[in-house]
Structure 1
Amino acid sequence: MSFTPFRCLTLPLIAAVGLAASPFVAAEEPLKFGIISTESSQNQAPLWDPFLADLSEALDREVEPFFATDYAAVIQAMRFDQIDLAWYGNKSAMEAVDRAGGEIFAQTVAANGDPGYWSLMITQRDSELSSVEDVLANASELVFGNGDPNSTSGFLVPGYYVFAQNGVDPATAFKRTLNSSHETNALSVANGQVDVATFNTESMERLEEVHPDKAEQLKVIWQSPLIPSDPLVWRENLSDELKGELRDFFYAYGESEAEQAILEPLQWSGFAPSTNDQLLPIRQLELFKQRAQVADDASLSADEREARLAELDARLDELNARLEAAEAEQAAAAQAS
């Protein structure tokens, strides 16, 4: 595979990583593929190279990866048409759909057959902390590694289940709070730089492969409910022709042994069709979190609190109706097939 300099973009915090996913120079503009920063771009690039090369060959055009140091830069890149499609987590996909003209068209299928993944809270193996209750009771003495603010498993899910449900603000409860990638959080805990941090099961599997000695230094003290598999999002304003080509590629990819070998390092076995309805449970979770914060906000008057709660409840009722309709539609489609 040949390597060419990555085109400079005028967005903050971009890690310039140069590689071309195809040996030829296509007449069309390169397809730009955004990749969220679950770990360093130096580690991610070799995992993605073979897959992007296959995508390039299938589309008969160059495919350029876009790596950045945080999730927000990938969202902003889609907003300003600097990328054409991206792999996001559910929380960042929600931001891309709502603010960057994105649309979900597929979701990943886990190699181990799991229907999704789980958020974790981790500490050092020999830590006296053994539960969320221990963490919250000693928060003022602990350094906490929180996830990227646009991360589903690193921020949104623990933000609701661990903190909002317990009436705790992690930004003020701890001695110090740092926001980092999954990899950085895990390594910081293993190295004793952070006392407790968010993580997830997919990243734990990855850590056990690349840094088994560090993985052995970790202890899981909390696991979340199931999180839906990660979505693939394209710009809604892509041409129908290109969308069709992308559907054909993603929905069929993984059928051969060679493709399975390429997907294995990414911890996937293929891709399934999906839509923006995948985000409905995530939207519920975001609203539940906001509702808990409003209910506990002592700075609000009784009337202000009641009005805001009524507004959030109305939005939750609307989401519940949409979710029920989507589930009924899926059940009907499954029965028909």
Structure 2
Amino acid sequence: MIKKLCATLAIGLGMTGVSMAQDINFGIISTEATQNLKGDWEPLIADMSRETGMKVTAFFAPDYAGIIEGMRFNKVQLAWLGNKSAMEAVDRAKGEVFAQMVNADGTQGYYSHLIVHKDSPVNNLQDMLGQAKNLSFGNGDPNSTSGFLVPGFYVFAQNKVDAKTIFKVTRSANHESNALAVANKQVDVATNNSENLDKIKQRYPDKFNDIKIIWTSPLIALDPLVMRSDLPADQKAKLTKFFLSYGKDAREKEVLMKISKLWGFKASTNAQLLPIRQIDLFGQRSKIAADPVINETDKAARLAEIDKKLAALN
């Protein structure tokens, strides 16, 4: 009788575990206002719930770190992330890249930008660096690829300046907030990217017309999708199949276009993050090399450690 009861309890617990495992929280990075993101993503999330048989719920946080920490503590099992935040999720939150966005126009990536008001006397990077002490700057989220990492390396580290100290005032916000702040003359210059400016053009055409691009980065690989590496294999397979086959009819194509003018998704791996890891390490190296406070012995040791990591990536 006791054995039978234990077996019944084990079956019950096993069934409960399976049921709980079917609940998926899908993290969505805060590139713009939450209500806009909900409108763009909820049709796809509803389709995912229906086609996979899992209960999928959107998970929003005020910053990128909230999604990464959510995945770290298993409050988020699946996420749309930028390359920099995906790197953090892989390194700190048991994340693994399994898919990548594909643009509808066939392009392989997007661009980081620095933007100013159309009436600004700042017309290029040299103007900005020369006038920085009199300018206010809208930086991106610290875990943003296009809003922080890429301009941090190409604009600031390579010019041996620090974005935190070169400007009169520096603040951080999401892409949409920075674009609108520039258009409204609340900040003089800010980071943004080609994808978000496309959305600003659609949602706020008058504001878009008040924005001028003064710098464009090299091409950035399109955003990855990340899932927790310890998800059950059957769930991984269902989620992967859903994304890699999404966009099969006119309605789904419309959903993808609304999200970010996408054609769909293709298979990817953590290898997608290699260039971002290199940029991140190069940025760290440049900052240490230019720091006058660090003593030479300590500086040499820290630079050697970064060089070792760079060599391992190669």
TM-score relative to the length of structure 2: 0.92
The structure in which a higher percent of residues are helix is 2
2:8 aligns with: none
Q: Whose RCO is larger (CA < 8 A, sep 6+)? A: 2
**Amino acid of the structure 2 residue aligned with 1:109:** V
Cα deviations by residue, 1:168-201 (Å, 9 ceiling, x for unpaired): 1111111110100000000000000000000000
1:292 and 1:53 mapped to 2: Cα distance? Answer: 45
1:283 and 1:27 mapped to 2: Cα distance? Answer: 37
Cα deviations by residue, 1:47-73 (Å, 9 ceiling, x for unpaired): 111111110111113210001110000
Shift of 1:27: 5.6
Is 2:218 the partner of 1:255?
Answer: no
Cα deviations by residue, 1:122-170 (Å, 9 ceiling, x for unpaired): 0000100011111111111111000000000000000000000111111
- Superposed, 1:96-245 pairs within 5 Å as 96-245=89-238
Is 2:291 the partner of 1:291?
Answer: no
Is 2:58 the partner of 1:49?
Answer: no
Is 2:250 the partner of 1:264?
Answer: no
Cα deviations by residue, 1:265-312 (Å, 9 ceiling, x for unpaired): 012110000000100000000000011011101112222222222211
Shift of 1:112: 2.2
CA contact (8 A) 1:27 1:61 kept: no
Identical counterparts, % of pairs = 52
1:311 aligns with: 305
2:293 and 2:98 mapped to 1: Cα distance? Answer: 42
Count, aligned residues = 295
Cα deviations by residue, 1:241-288 (Å, 9 ceiling, x for unpaired): 100111111111112222111111012110000000100000000000
1:82 aligns with: 75
RMSD of Structure 2 on Structure 1 (CA):
1.2
Match of 2:268 among 253, 264, 274: 274
Cα deviations by residue, 1:99-126 (Å, 9 ceiling, x for unpaired): 1110100011112221010000000001
* Runs of 4+ in structure 1 over 6 Å off: none
Cα deviations by residue, 1:190-224 (Å, 9 ceiling, x for unpaired): 00000000000000111111111100000000000
Q: Which runs of 5+ in 1 are unaligned?
A: 1-25, 321-337
1:310 and 1:30 mapped to 2: Cα distance? Answer: 45
1:305 and 1:27 mapped to 2: Cα distance? Answer: 53
